[in-house]
Structure 1
Amino acid sequence: MRIYRIDHVAQVVPDLDAQVSFLSRVFGFRPVSQWDNPAAGTKGVRLEIPGSWGHAWLVLAPSGDSSPLATWLDDHGGRPGLHHVGAEVPDLDAAIVELEERGLKVTDGVPGRWTEASLTPPEHGPGVLWRLRGPGTLAMAGDEDATPVEASDVDGPTLGIVALDHICQAFGDRDELARWYADLAGFVQVWRTADDEHPDMADLVLNVPGSSICWEVIMPRGEDSFIEKFLSRNGAAAHHVTFQVSDWDAALAACEHHGLNTFDEETGVTDGAAWKHTFVHPKQTGGVLVQLFWEQRPGVWVRSDKIPPGSR
């Protein structure tokens, strides 16, 4: 199976308008289309992510009397959160066959158009939900009859986001998951920390062929790791989503302006160029842990030469 590209990241919220307003005012996302499809049980808005051509952020909410999204929210205690990652594959039918042969559960979508599956190894699943579609229409969230949204001006500062950089998944063994993704969908390892670089975690980053969005895997190490706690609560789920900002001081000022509290800020220098990153709690972003990063020169924060020989 091959993935042409990641199309979108989708979150589910109980209040659609409030979340779209928040993402527009604070993140600088631009709504481009909207829909309300009670038959599919969903209403939503597609938003452009600055600097991420071809990638979108979808905000979904329940619609109608028997919405699967209402069930999803109920199962999550009414809390919003990341729902799925949408991606295009060259041959949907062949992808379904491949997934089923690997023991992955493929759920009903729209036959011939899209389907859903966790791509995590089945013995460790369910993990991150992927919504896969074949070539053709972008509609894969009940948005077959979406209507355009006129762009409106945003008052006040935004975070100055310039790209969706990567999605991070927690897993018990980073190398096991990296090998799985490489074999399943051709993901390529481009960066990793040394085993003992951090006392409570180790990570690596994979390129997703056809997409500028990368996939990070974090695993626990040592005693009392925060990742171990996360896995015990959530399983091999998405841990956070990372955005690049153009101006660090302006981004932090925007967070303060909008009442967003940041935590776990880290700074460093690589080859004489500075980089910085921090986090915003999911309670303030609509259920998604958000990481913000800035780098003085492209490629200093995540480096393709930080891979020991023989581990690619």
Structure 2
Amino acid sequence: MQIYRIDHVAQVTADLDAQVALLEGLFGFRRVRSWDNPGEGVRGARLEIPGSRGQAWEVLAPAGDGSSLRTWLDEHGGRPGLHHVGAEVPDLEAVQAELEVRGIKPTDGARGHWLEASLSPPEHGPGVLFRLRGPGDLDMCGDSAASAASAPAAGTGSPDGPSLGIVALDHICQAFPDRDALARWYHELAGFVQVWRTADDEHPDMADLVLNIPGSSICWEVIMPRGEDSFIERFLDKGGPGAHHVTFEVDDWDAAMAACEHHETPTFDDEEGSTDGAAWKHTFIHPKHTGGVLVQLFWEERPGVWVRSDKVPPPWT
């Protein structure tokens, strides 16, 4: 199968308006579409990510009786969180056949307009949920023409105060017990290509690598535990090999930190350094301040110095 474009990242929340306000205010996203579709059990909004190349952030909330999103929230203790990654493929039927050969049973969605499945090795648990659609079919989240409106809902205005100054959605990170095993799987399944990795002993509690998704400006990071008390091991024990965090690049570090202070949003695990004479910084925002998604922010003085762009051949080719 082939993924030729990551379309969006979607999160589920019980309070759509509050989450959209957070994303418009602190994050500086811009709502471009809203919809209310009780027939498919979903209200939603699509927001443009500054600097993104066609990728968006979508917020989904339950609508009507018997909504699967209500069930999802109930199963997660009512907590909001990342729901799926939306992607486009050239041939949806071919993708379904390929997944079934690999032991993955996709779910048909919205009258066959899209497929939903974890693309991780099935023997390791649910992994990250993907929602896949073919060309020429834009409805993936209940946002059909009959239920959607291009203008923001009435009563929304310009965000109050400074935003983070995001310039790109850089990558999505997945935790997994073995980074090379998952990288090999994604390479064989969908053509992901490794472009960077840390040395095995660079960090005491983790090792990672970064995969390029052909045709997309978004990369995919895989982190795995090392040592006796790794935070990744605790993450895997709690929820399995799912999405760990989402990373955005900011244009001005001091301005981003000032925006966090203005919006009373604390950060943690701040780090900074220098590579080849160019500075970089990064930090995290806890899921309780973002609507259920761990967010990483980074700034780099020169492109490629935070996560080195040096191409490192994978050991399995």
What's the TM-score bracket when you normalise by the shorter of the two chains?
over 0.9
Deviation for aligned residue 1:103? 0.2
Residue in structure 2 matched with residue 294 of structure 1 by the alignment: 299
Q: Do 2:184 and 2:316's aligned partners in 1 also have CA atoms closer than 8 Å?
A: no
Work out whether 1:278 is the aligned partner of 2:283.
yes
Give me the CA root mean square deviation.
1.3
Residue in structure 2 matched with residue 245 of structure 1 by the alignment: 250
- Secondary structure, in 3 states, of the residue corresponding to 2:224? strand
1:178-218 C-alpha deviation (Å, 9 max, x unpaired): 00000000000011000000000000000001110100000
Residue in structure 2 matched with residue 55 of structure 1 by the alignment: 55
The residue identity in structure 2 corresponding to 1:221 is R
The residue identity in structure 2 corresponding to 1:7 is D
Matches of 1:129 and 1:251, distance apart in 2: 30
- Secondary structure, in 3 states, of the residue corresponding to 1:259? coil
Match of 1:227 among 228, 232, 238: 232
Deviation for aligned residue 1:304? 2.8
Matches of 1:105 and 1:193, distance apart in 2: 33
Matches of 2:291 and 2:110, distance apart in 1: 27
Work out whether 1:4 is the aligned partner of 2:4.
yes
Work out whether 1:192 is the aligned partner of 2:197.
yes
Q: Do 2:9 and 2:57's aligned partners in 1 also have CA atoms closer than 8 Å?
A: yes
Structure 2: where are the runs of 5+ without partners?
Answer: none
Residue in structure 2 matched with residue 156 of structure 1 by the alignment: 161
Q: How does 1:107-122 map to 2 (within 5 A)?
A: 107-122=107-122
- Secondary structure, in 3 states, of the residue corresponding to 1:140? coil
- Secondary structure, in 3 states, of the residue corresponding to 1:39? helix
Residue in structure 2 matched with residue 105 of structure 1 by the alignment: 105
Work out whether 1:69 is the aligned partner of 2:69.
yes
Deviation for aligned residue 1:307? 2.2
Deviation for aligned residue 1:136? 0.8
Work out whether 1:147 is the aligned partner of 2:149.
yes
The residue identity in structure 1 corresponding to 2:263 is H
Q: Select between 198-207 and 296-305 the one with higher mean Cα deviation.
A: 296-305
Q: Given the two structures, how large is their TM-score scaled by the length of structure 2?
A: 0.96
1:265-291 C-alpha deviation (Å, 9 max, x unpaired): 111111111111000000010000000
Count of residue pairs brought into register by the alignment: 312
Matches of 1:291 and 1:251, distance apart in 2: 12
Structure 1: where are the runs of 5+ without partners?
Answer: none
Matches of 1:65 and 1:308, distance apart in 2: 51
Q: Given the two structures, how large is their TM-score scaled by the length of structure 1?
A: 0.98
Deviation for aligned residue 1:112? 4.1
- Secondary structure, in 3 states, of the residue corresponding to 2:19? helix
Match of 2:184 among 179, 183, 195: 179
